């Protein structure tokens, strides 16, 4: 005989769990509210009035557009590099056995396990020692380095589920390695790579610490935000940008979730 599992939680637990989630979400909701406030000089709550005018003002700001374009470019290229390197690494670790596999996993995780400031300052001092001027490409270099792990984690989790006999069957039927990759492996790991790529994009799009060290004069959107946080110039515009950034990062996260939710490990469980 099996005792029925109680389905209702104790009241205290319910309150604590819902309270915890509220703690996580109320600040985000406030960002959405403040994007519409008419107050310009302070962070007054409740807002004295609501308006849409700041969306128009923000739309016409060239510095916001420049920062957004740079962020998208950096994130796209960094994601592309991370996709290639992360997939190669995941394929090697999961499809072959070799000495030092554990070390490879550690090496991939290290850039994100150590605090960002260490990665940032290490890259900065290396660039200045090698006389490499800070540019668009130094930002990409830094971002790609810590984006590899996200793609790698997703790809490794999926490779584990791709049966080796599928690959052998393809080979037995006369396909060469490239054909097997194109027609058997890729369709199997495709969604995991897409999810990993989306998360890598979100990670790069939002990254600020490493960028402050590896960027030159250019400012990505997070750098622009940081400037505004330290020395506020036009608060309503910052409010609107904050809301847009929030929305832009939500979409890849949701997409990554829906792409991998049937798997044994859902994308994004670790950042």
Partner 1 sequence: MTIAATQPILPNRPRLTGRISDFLWKHPQVLLAVLLGPPVLWLGIIYLGSLFALLLQSFFSIDDFSGLINYEFTLATYKQLLSDANFDIIVRTVLMAATVTLFSALIAFPIAYYAARYARGKWKAVFYLGVMLPLWSSYLVKIYAWKLILAKEGILTWAFTKLNLLWLLDGWLSLPVIGGNSLSVSYTGTFLVFVYVWMPFMILPIQAALERIPANLIEASSDLGGTPQQTFRHVLFPLALPGIVAGSIFTFSLTLGDYIIPQIVGSSRLFIGQAVYAQQGTAGNIPLAAAFTVVPIIIMGLYLWMAKRMGAFDAL
Only one of the segments 52-60, 72-80, 189-197, 204-212 lies at the binding site for partner 1 (rule: CB under 8 A); that segment is 204-212
The minimum distance between CB 152 and partner 1, in angstroms, equals 8
The minimum distance between CB 24 and partner 1, in angstroms, equals 4
What is the rounded distance in angstroms from the CA atom of residue 125 to the CA atom of residue 109? Answer: 21
Only one of the segments 58-66, 161-169, 188-196, 203-211 lies at the binding site for partner 1 (rule: CB under 8 A); that segment is 203-211
162 binds partner 1 (CB under 8 A): no
What is the rounded distance in angstroms from the CA atom of residue 76 to the CA atom of residue 73? Answer: 5
The minimum distance between CB 150 and partner 1, in angstroms, equals 11
270 binds partner 1 (CB under 8 A): yes
Considering CB under 8 A, how many residues would be counted as binding partner 1? 86
Whether residue 46 has a cis bond before it, omega within 30° of 0: yes
Enumerate residues 47-76 that contact partner 1 by CB under 8 A: none
36 binds partner 1 (CB under 8 A): no
124 binds partner 1 (CB under 8 A): yes
What is the rounded distance in angstroms from the CA atom of residue 59 to the CA atom of residue 257? Answer: 30
Return the number of the residue (80 or 208) whose C-beta is nearest partner 1. 208
Could you tell me which residues come within 8 angstroms of residue 79 by beta carbon, excluding any fewer than 6 positions away? 147, 197, 200, 201, 204
Of the candidates 4, 42, 74, the one whose C-alpha atom is nearest the C-alpha of residue 223 is 74
Of the candidates 182, 204, 255, the one whose C-alpha atom is nearest the C-alpha of residue 81 is 204
The minimum distance between CB 64 and partner 1, in angstroms, equals 14
The minimum distance between CB 161 and partner 1, in angstroms, equals 18
Provide φ and ψ at 50, rounded to 5°. Answer: -115, 145
The minimum distance between CB 157 and partner 1, in angstroms, equals 12
The minimum distance between CB 59 and partner 1, in angstroms, equals 19
Considering only 58, 154, 238, 260, the residue that binds partner 1 (CB under 8 A) is: 238
Return the number of the residue (96 or 165) whose C-beta is nearest partner 1. 96
Please provide the size of the chain in residues: 271
Return the number of the residue (43 or 65) whose C-beta is nearest partner 1. 43
Please give the angle made by the CA atoms of 216, 242 and 15, to the nearest 5 degrees.
130
Binding mask 166-195 for partner 1 (x = CB under 8 A): -----x----xxx-----------------
84 binds partner 1 (CB under 8 A): yes
Helices (H), the chain: 11-34, 53-59, 62-95, 101-113, 116-129, 136-159, 164-172, 177-180, 186-206, 209-214, 221-230, 235-260
For residue 8, what are the CA distances in angstroms to 4, 17, 20? 12, 13, 18
Of the candidates 168, 226, 197, 202, the one whose C-alpha atom is nearest the C-alpha of residue 90 is 197
The minimum distance between CB 60 and partner 1, in angstroms, equals 22
89 binds partner 1 (CB under 8 A): yes
Q: How many CB atoms lie within 10 A of CB 217?
A: 6
Considering only 54, 74, 79, 111, the residue that binds partner 1 (CB under 8 A) is: 111
């Amino acid at each position: 005989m099996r005792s029925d599992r109680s389905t209702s939680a104790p009241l205290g637990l319910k309150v604590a769990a819902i309270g915890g989630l509220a703690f996580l979400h109320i600040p985000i909701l406030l960002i959405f509210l403040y994007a519409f406030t008419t107050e310009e000089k302070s962070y007054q709550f409740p807002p004295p009035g609501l308006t849409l005018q700041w969306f128009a003002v923000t739309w016409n700001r060239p510095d916001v557009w420049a920062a957004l374009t740079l962020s998208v470019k950096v994130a796209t290229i960094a994601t592309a590099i991370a996709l290639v390197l992360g997939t190669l690494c995941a394929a090697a670790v999961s499809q072959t056995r070799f000495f030092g596999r554990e070390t490879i996993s550690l090496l991939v995780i290290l850039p994100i396990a150590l605090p960002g400031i260490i990665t940032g300052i290490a890259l900065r001092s290396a660039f200045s020692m090698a006389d490499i001027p800070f540019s668009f490409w130094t930002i990409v270099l830094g971002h790609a380095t810590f984006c590899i792990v996200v793609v790698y984690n997703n790809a490794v989790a999926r490779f584990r589920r791709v049966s080796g006999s599928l690959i052998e069957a393809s080979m037995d039927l006369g396909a060469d390695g490239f054909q097997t990759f194109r027609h058997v492996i890729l369709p199997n790991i495709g969604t995991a790579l897409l999810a990993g790529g989306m998360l890598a994009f979100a990670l790069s799009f939002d990254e600020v610490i490493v960028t402050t060290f590896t960027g030159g004069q250019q400012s990505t959107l997070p750098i622009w935000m940081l400037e505004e946080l330290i020395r506020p110039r036009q608060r309503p515009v910052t409010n609107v940008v904050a809301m847009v950034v929030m929305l832009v990062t939500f979409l890849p996260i949701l997409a990554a979730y829906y792409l991998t939710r049937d798997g044994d490990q859902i994308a994004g469980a670790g950042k």
